[in-house]
Amino acid sequence: MTDKTMVSHLGIEVTDIGPDYLTATMPADSRTFQPMGIVHGGAYVALAETVASFAANLVVDDSRHYAVGLDINANHLRSVRSGTVTGTARPIHLGRSTQVWEVRIEDDRERLVCIARMTASILDRTPSDTTA
């Protein structure tokens, strides 16, 4: 599903799905760095939107609906120069037409490096829709 997408280009991989969360990792390397040799804030946001969007789509009836990002904000708290970052999405609100997800991104030492919140819009699937 993620082949030939930004998700695969950045090396984002889903690692765990639980009853109220979804977790994925992303490498801190040349694919995700900004020129100063630290993870780019946009890469954190891409990870946050990826885990929140995947999670949002797991809690809707995918035969009738799908979820897409509507709004996202992030606070970058700590620089990361190597290793892996891990993002975990948990729901704050699961409504009929919108969902709100909190995403905590941590480094290899489990230190919080970014916190994000994404709002997803729940859309009706049409007969011409072929992807989630």
Burial of residue 33 (number of CB atoms within 10 Å: 0-12, 13-18, 19+) = middle
Sequence-distant (≥ 6) Cβ neighbours of residue 51 within 8 angstroms: 14, 22, 23, 24, 87, 88, 89, 103
d(CA 11, CA 8): 5
Helix (H) or strand (E) holding 85: strand 84-94
Report DSSP state, residue 42: H
Catalytic residue annotation: 49
